[in-house]
Amino acid sequence: MIRDDVRVSVATKDSSANDQATYQFDRIFTQDATQEEVFHVVMKDSVDSVLNGFNATVLAYGQSGAGKTHTMFGTEKSDQGIIPRSVKEIFRRISCHDSGSMFVVKVGRRSVLSTEEGEVS
């Protein structure tokens, strides 16, 4: 399930002050969202842009255990994440292209891990 235009309020560290920080999100995916739904919402426009000659970047950010790796890569062929789905879609569309154009596809992956507060490796 996908919820659009969501506002979330979070209590600050100093709970005695009754302060809250409010964040506005364009979209939130619930735990029931499928990999296919996430791909179509998050990556469809990026795949279109890549095939028109532009670079695209996707970033998964969150705490350990939040599902970043699962969202990016998935688990099995039937539950592929957004990276394998994007690559599959790019090559599917290239193979259907009959203009005689040449395509060069380059993919990079970076993983940044925070091991302690304030320390990034």
Q: SS3 for 80-100, per residue? A: ECHHHHHHHHHHHHHHHCCCC
From the list 57, 22, 86, the residue with the least C-alpha distance to 94 is 86
What's the pLDDT score for residue 17? Answer: 56
What's the pLDDT score for residue 5? Answer: 66
Can you tell me the distance from the alpha carbon of 64 to that of 41, in angstroms, rounded to the nearest whole number?
A: 23
Query: At which residue do the structure tokens 């990026």 appear?
Result: 46
- Is residue 111 part of an annotated ligand binding site? no
- Is residue 62 part of an annotated ligand binding site? yes
- Is residue 64 part of an annotated ligand binding site? yes
- Is residue 67 part of an annotated ligand binding site? yes
- Is residue 100 part of an annotated ligand binding site? no
- Is residue 11 part of an annotated ligand binding site? no
- Is residue 68 part of an annotated ligand binding site? yes
Contact, 49 vs 89, CB < 8 A?
A: no
pTM across the whole model: 0.74
Residue % of the chain over a pLDDT of 70: 83
Contact, 92 vs 80, CB < 8 A?
A: no
pLDDT tens digits, 48-85: 999 888 999 888 888 888 888 889 999 887 789 999 99
pLDDT of 119 > 60? The answer is: no
